[in-house]
Amino acid sequence: MQLRLHLAILLVTVTVATCKVLNEDSFEHDTQASTGATTGDWLVKFFHPQCQTCIELAPVWEEVETQLAEMKLQGMGANVNVAEVNIEESPALMERFGIKAIPSILLFRHNKMYTYAGENTQKEIVHFATEGFQSVQGITVPKEKTFVDKIIEKVMGLFGQGKTEL
């Protein structure tokens, strides 16, 4: 009986643990990162498909997703959504969040973002997502650029002035 229960939980966990793919169009809508994250916390991996470290992190990331989904199902206080962003397809998100290296893992929680700097192990990443982030200085999530901001940036670029403040 207990074996069946564990198998049932495992089956449900495997079907629930699917990594959400975010991009420049869906990021803010899905995460609500800059407005307070009413959809829960979001643990997001920023990667490049040709980055060797990113490739090595992929199976660990799947384990992280599975464990966080299982914790959520069992009511263990973890309400963390897991997602990933391909920076080759969404470079503006890399710029928006000030990402300097890949892979990068950020936790978005209550209008703050926390940068993970630990080892790329399931145990360490899950700990960071559930409580370890508290030992890291969170910063306010940068707002998404408006249409007007993007136009001004393009125009300034045309005149060789790049990114300047108006």
- Condensed to tens digits (0 to 9), the pLDDT of residues 88-110 reads 999 999 999 999 999 999 999 99
Structure-model confidence comparison of residues 69 and 32, the more confident one: 69
Mean pLDDT on 11-21: 60
Contact 142, 83 (CB under 8 A): no
**Which residues partner with 44 through β-bridges?**
83, 106
| pLDDT above 80 for 73 | yes
| pLDDT above 60 for 124 | yes
Q: How many CA atoms lie within 13 A of 158 on its CB side?
A: 6
Residue with the two structure tokens 């890949």: 102
Q: For residue 10, name the pLDDT band (cuts at 50, 70, 90).
A: very low
What does the mean pLDDT of the chain come to?
85
How far apart are alpha carbons 4 and 108 in whole angstroms? 36
Residue 70: both structure tokens together: 């299982």
Q: What is the pTM of this model?
A: 0.79
How far apart are alpha carbons 124 and 121 in whole angstroms? 5
Residue 106: both structure tokens together: 């950020």
Burial class (CB in 10 A: 0-12, 13-18, 19+), 85: buried
How far apart are alpha carbons 116 and 137 in whole angstroms? 11
Percentage of residues in the chain having pLDDT higher than 70: 80
Mean pLDDT on 36-55: 90
How far apart are alpha carbons 114 and 74 in whole angstroms? 25
Contact 37, 103 (CB under 8 A): no
How far apart are alpha carbons 66 and 117 in whole angstroms? 21
pLDDT at 38: 66
